[in-house]
Chains A and B, each alone.
Chain A
């Protein structure tokens, strides 16, 4: 299949021999993009369980310092640092990346552009295998002497470079190795996503006929591939500092610790948009379907995404305002950082405008998509405080920052994922999820999410700094009022984690016992809904042709309120 020419049906697809495959070759060694997407999705979700458990443990420590945490025990400072470090690392690199980019990218790109598979299926399989190894390497860092790395997910040297400082000789190196391997996996995946979307489109699908989620994944892949180079170089240098005794980041021997921060954030800030854009794309697909509306100003959305992507390479040092950079540099990065609010604000305005004149159905996927817009607005506006250098002098490294980026990453990684999974579940498994359970899970998760992070905004405003395992050591922060806010945040987290069992039950139960979905249960336009649910290996018996843009809902020339892309008229 690897060499299949776009737009021609591979004779192997749809043949009976695919059904005779054993479990291992069908599910573990498959080159089918849908199976690889599932591998990424389930691995990502498993990692999310681990990352979520970590947050439970350290939040319990903050609410009830020094007490034994159920299912864990006493949290030592070393435990605490390793837990926060790996929570951040896992949630970004092993949950947001694999689920939003790799799982949705793999699943949706061929199905939405009308291809039978990815252009490089074997590369795709290799990408997942390397990703799996990277996850195992990361988890193994908890089992070695000294335990997991505890120098924060940003891994600033000299703390990360020398074991006499971080006290995790093996954990720090394994952490770094895992991150580097993960980047390799996503470089392989990114090549596939861009090539497939650009070269394997169905006949008739012009660039402006590509569904927004596909554009967003392509732009995100380009951003990732352009930005990750410096960080891979930096990771190798840091690895050499740790293991071979080089001095790239050692000030005592001519190195410079600030260099790492530049390499890290030159990647790290575009990375925010790498995970944001796919979630924005998923939201576009869902709000158009459930508002029965054409996407407002399709080209504007696309241009703002490209504009955001380009600008995202010029803002990185806003993470380093007070890190000891030349103070004059802060002016430039304040300017670029506030400018990036323009395309993002415009994107939000477009989404809100799309709702105008719609016929809005509040199904579970729609609730998630709307929640993405609402919660991301909070994440967006609170970022302005931090991008303004003068205000960042105070807010830097406080819980205000933490609450701000959770108001961006939670909508991205959690809301975006639940939106996408609940929307494409019928396609993935051929059955419908239960809408009532879906809504219970939605409201339980969203309300408790806000009750976790609004108290943390308050704590950050009161001057509480990050990555401190026990605030009782700081008289200004040890007050009962502030402690009650910490307890409220922790209790809300426990409630939110509890609600995930509702989703898990709904997911597994619906997979086997949900009502049959049919090809197009949402009456949507994009190509994936013209395939069987679930689509067979090869996706269509005959590849579709595209006749119109993706969002022709409620078109005056058509009786039904949707007009699938593949119908001639």
Chain B
């Protein structure tokens, strides 16, 4: 369902899309079945002259069957969904593959700041590149992100990656992604963060190796002190 609207630009995007399709199939089956039965019963048992309603308690075993059997089948579907959800979740949020590159993502009212490693490939060195509302990553490289916030809750959401994670002041949350598709896509803040929440978008640029190297070479490093210090003092 999702790839119809958004390309899959990370290694795990297809896992989420498949899970959504699996749930969609179960849900559609149950919805059509119960809604269809519901509409049919309303039509079939509409009041007509000469017919009377039956007296059915629903307490007898052969009557209760009509509830218990679907109920057990729903339980079976739930088991499939739980297994699917847990395994997808594990791969995205719990398991952390080794990083080839690390970027720092800092949310603040109302911009995103991204700190990229420079030519040395290491974060927190002199050649780091800091940008505002522009994240540059390389296709096929496993990234760790270190997500931080300097003021209120924000949420780092990259829809084409199917990635979403809240940023919490006072914590660094580490997660991962591996881009698989070149192009320029939206990054949105997905947690209300004040009156500028609707302006807090950024763009992610997914580049191939040569493009990315050219971008790194072309950017002058910005001292990270300017990045990680809150732009305004947090008053007590």
User: Which A residues lie at the B interface, using CB under 8 A?
Assistant: 76-78, 80-81, 150-152, 156, 158-159, 162, 164-167, 245, 251-253, 257-258, 291-300, 321-324, 327-328, 330-331, 334-335, 338-339, 341-342, 345-346, 348-350, 352-362, 370, 373-374, 377-378, 381-382, 384-385, 388-391, 393-394, 396-398, 461-463, 465-471, 473-477, 553-556, 561
Known A252-B170, A476-B159; further 4 A-B contacts with Cβ < 8 A: A300-B64, A349-B70, A358-B45, A390-B87
Interface residues of B in 25-50 (CB under 8 A from A): 26-27, 30-31, 34-35, 37-38, 41-42, 45-48
Residues A473 and B94 in contact, CB atoms below 8 Å apart = no
Contact A381/B30 with A352-B41, A391-B16, A463-B159 known, Cβ cut-off 8 Å:
yes
Residues of chain B with a CB closer than 8 A to A370's CB: 38, 42
With the chains together, A461 CA to B23 CA distance in Å?
A: 14
Contact A359/B47 with A322-B166, A370-B42, A377-B31 known, Cβ cut-off 8 Å:
yes
Residues of chain B with a CB closer than 8 A to A385's CB: 20, 23-24, 27
Residues A253 and B236 in contact, CB atoms below 8 Å apart = yes
Residues B1 and A294 in contact, CB atoms below 8 Å apart = no
| Chain B contact residue count (CB 8 A cutoff) | 90
Partner of A252, one of B30, B153, B234: B234
Partner of B55, one of A300, A474, A555: A555
Residues B157 and A389 in contact, CB atoms below 8 Å apart = no
Residues B169 and A166 in contact, CB atoms below 8 Å apart = no
Q: Which residue of A lies closest to B165 (CB)?
A: A322
With the chains together, A330 CA to B90 CA distance in Å?
A: 9
Residues B194 and A349 in contact, CB atoms below 8 Å apart = no
Residues of chain A with a CB closer than 8 A to B86's CB: 331, 334, 389-390
Residues B235 and A164 in contact, CB atoms below 8 Å apart = yes
**B217 touches A (CB below 8 Å):** no
Residues of chain A with a CB closer than 8 A to B234's CB: 252
Contact A158/B34 with A359-B47, A461-B2 known, Cβ cut-off 8 Å:
no
Residues B168 and A251 in contact, CB atoms below 8 Å apart = yes
Q: Which residue of A lies closest to B110 (CB)?
A: A77
Residues A297 and B82 in contact, CB atoms below 8 Å apart = no
Residues B56 and A296 in contact, CB atoms below 8 Å apart = yes
Residues B201 and A474 in contact, CB atoms below 8 Å apart = yes
With the chains together, A394 CA to B6 CA distance in Å?
A: 11
Contact A462/B5 with A159-B152, A554-B53 known, Cβ cut-off 8 Å:
yes
Centre residue among A296, A377, A474 by max chain B CB count within 10 A: A474
Partner of A349, one of B34, B87, B159, B192: B34
**B59 touches A (CB below 8 Å):** yes
**B191 touches A (CB below 8 Å):** yes
Taking the closest CB of chain B, its distance from the CB of A239, in whole angstroms, is 17
Partner of A297, one of B31, B64, B168: B64
Residues B78 and A346 in contact, CB atoms below 8 Å apart = no
**B216 touches A (CB below 8 Å):** no
Residues A324 and B92 in contact, CB atoms below 8 Å apart = no
Residues B46 and A338 in contact, CB atoms below 8 Å apart = no
Residues B66 and A258 in contact, CB atoms below 8 Å apart = no
**B190 touches A (CB below 8 Å):** yes
Residues of chain B with a CB closer than 8 A to A76's CB: 195
Residues of chain A with a CB closer than 8 A to B169's CB: 158, 251-252, 257
Partner of B58, one of A292, A328, A350: A350
With the chains together, A462 CA to B59 CA distance in Å?
A: 46
Contact A396/B67 with A81-B192, A294-B56, A359-B52 known, Cβ cut-off 8 Å:
no
Residues of chain B with a CB closer than 8 A to A298's CB: 57-59
Partner of A166, one of B37, B45, B194: B194
**B151 touches A (CB below 8 Å):** yes
**B173 touches A (CB below 8 Å):** yes
Q: Which residue of B lies closest to A465 (CB)?
A: B190
Partner of A362, one of B23, B31, B46, B155: B46
Residues B37 and A150 in contact, CB atoms below 8 Å apart = no
Residues A330 and B78 in contact, CB atoms below 8 Å apart = no
